[in-house]
Structure 1
Amino acid sequence: MIRLPDASGALRVHTPRTEPSVPAAGGPPPVSRTVFAAAHVVADPFADPSPGHAGEAPTPGHAGGAPAPGGPAALDWDATLAFRRHLWSHGLGVAEAMDTAQRGMGLDWTTAAELIRRSAAEAAACGGRIACGVGTDQLTGPAGSLAEIRAAYEEQLAVVEEAGAQAIVMASRALAALARGPEDYLEVYGRLLRQASEPVILHWLGPMFDPALAGYWGSEDLDTATETLLAVIAEHPDRVDGVKVSLLDARREAELRRRLPDGVRCYTGDDFHYPELIAGEEPAAGGRFSHALLGIFDPLGPLAAEAVRVLDTGDRAGFRALLDPTVELSRHLFRAPTRYYKTGVVLLAWLAGHQEHFAMVGGLQSARSLPHLARAYELADSLGLFPDPGLAESRMRHLLAVYGVTA
């Protein structure tokens, strides 16, 4: 037994599992859905996180949770790449250098570019699927013009394409701050899509993930914003593989995917409603469904891959039986302020034995409370997510002891 604290400081007893229920590696990639796990990065625990060194974690009042100025983030490259091989071994694609990797929250563009190059090379070596984030975060201050924003996007697109990866065009804080209305989004995205050598994935990241992106697509009204996004796609349907929707609104995502042109996928980024969105509608209702590009599939990777393979057989009930019980954990990790979900993701990677420490770029491991982390452990253990439950329990005890809790 282990005693875990709640928000009041009271301790409750949890009895850890003795056996995992994690599917073994080696399964084929899912075929009925395209599934990407947005992967976290493993920090170098010996790097100096003070100002002027590694990219810093966001501080209260920092617009959009953006990091304060600092030097390049320091990563443990071996552990970072090993985790991507773990995801590929279960048949999942990897979404690289996204917000799960602390993009814009400690992971600077210089390090992100190196991460893209290294991960793309690993993907090529093992036959793994990879898509990488293209943004404008090399801009260190407010952009002075749309041309400056386009140039930043173009620079990053070139890095991703030269690495041999698919591009995910991420939402831009600089564009959100500068754009006067929908026409500016149409101009910037239109020019970028015309330059892309292969179809890209567009990403609509809601303000719950990044407050600096409020009003994206030129309007605070989501219906109006949706029309702008659809206009971008309609003008360039052959250049858009799909759109990743991260609004935590299942109804809105279902309505959007009904309006996408034929051949343009909807990738759910909804970490609250992913089982129902991936399962999709009954055939009588149209049979539409979402593919997946999810941060929660970082800790759920093996289980998620197995669930979609069950769905490949047409067994919707079996798919839901595997994934529905994981939603409580996901909603806990992604609770407000949602942008700090990365802390719980990295905690679970450490407890699962994928890395040797619970340290994050810029010290972001401190962004969640001990009771929050304790509940994450409890929920993940109850699901059988840890390959070695004994190791996870031991590491959780060590973390509790740091906070003065005798477990």
Structure 2
Amino acid sequence: MATNPSPSAALPIDAALPGLLAALDAGPSAVLVAPPGAGKTTRVPLALLDAPWLGAAGRIILLEPRRLAARGAAERMAATLGQRVGETVGLRVRLGSKISRATRIEVVTEGVFTRMILDDPELSGIGAVIFDEFHERSLDADLGLALALDAQSGLRDDLRILVMSATLDGARVSRLMGDARIVESEGRAYPVETRHTERDPNRRIEDAMADAILRALRADPGSVLAFLPGQGEIRRVASLLAERIDENIEIAPLYGALPPAEQDRAVAPAPPGTRKVVLATSIAETSLTIEGVRIVVDSGLSRVPVYEPGIGLTRLVTARASRASVDQRRGRAGRTEPGICHRLWSEAATSALEPFTRPGSPAAPSTHSSRGTCVTASTRRRRPMWRCP
């Protein structure tokens, strides 16, 4: 799973914990803004276990945007306590759970929480709900927060709600939560050099990414984490690289549909004397530290769900990632040592990106369909996806 410091190692978030505990003692809600690598995901729930407002039997729900992040967080917290998942720290995801009577922290995915609160609007026995990585702004997370706030105002005035993120508009979320107190933490990221190479719009994204990854491998030591919009692009880039890289470089796909064992293999450190190229979707933006990765290659694209009211269905489109998203990706290169981030767009284009991802809508006016076409918002014309800017 993700590599993290030893349980006894100090983390940047530790300095912010007294202020966070005081904020939740004084009021029912708080917002925590902490950069990647601060340790908020695994330190905060454990720190809240002894809070007087939680009580001896109260449980904490920690929401994660993806199953991989949920498994990693549960395993890390359980290891910190010297236990296995299913004891004090439990896991509840689609098609599987590890929960016992001793469980006091439940790590769940956002969709699971929605079902939990719809089944039990009062959230009986739950003292706190923590929304982690809220900047990703999924519809499930927004709905879950709305339902939790509704329960807090109408049924459970003692329920604590905490929203955490690395790249979050804290003031805006604070107002949404009734002017909740904002607590900020310093990060511990290493410096990352950013290099821009504008992609030829007439080239397929897979070809451009394969060339960029090969250039990065030749130019600098260390393993590579490359961000692609979806598993189709990952498979095609893997095929292109397999014919052109050395035998001591391992290619490891990483996306949500992979079996857990293959996801674990992708985030495990490369064997001694070898390097790794992890080809990932946005699943690797947060809550993961892959030992040895000091190079990030970012396509600048992300696949997002968009609701079409005319047909009453949600479809996946490929869109430009938000500025918060690409900043998260860049930060992956500086988690364990100084790193390098290669971006396949011009430096000036970064300022034109949406500041944050908006749930249920593309992050930029020009979007790319997962079926190989793109839709330009101004003209509604469809073109082959590889011709999109």
TM-score, with structure 2 as normaliser: 0.32
TM-score, with structure 1 as normaliser: 0.31
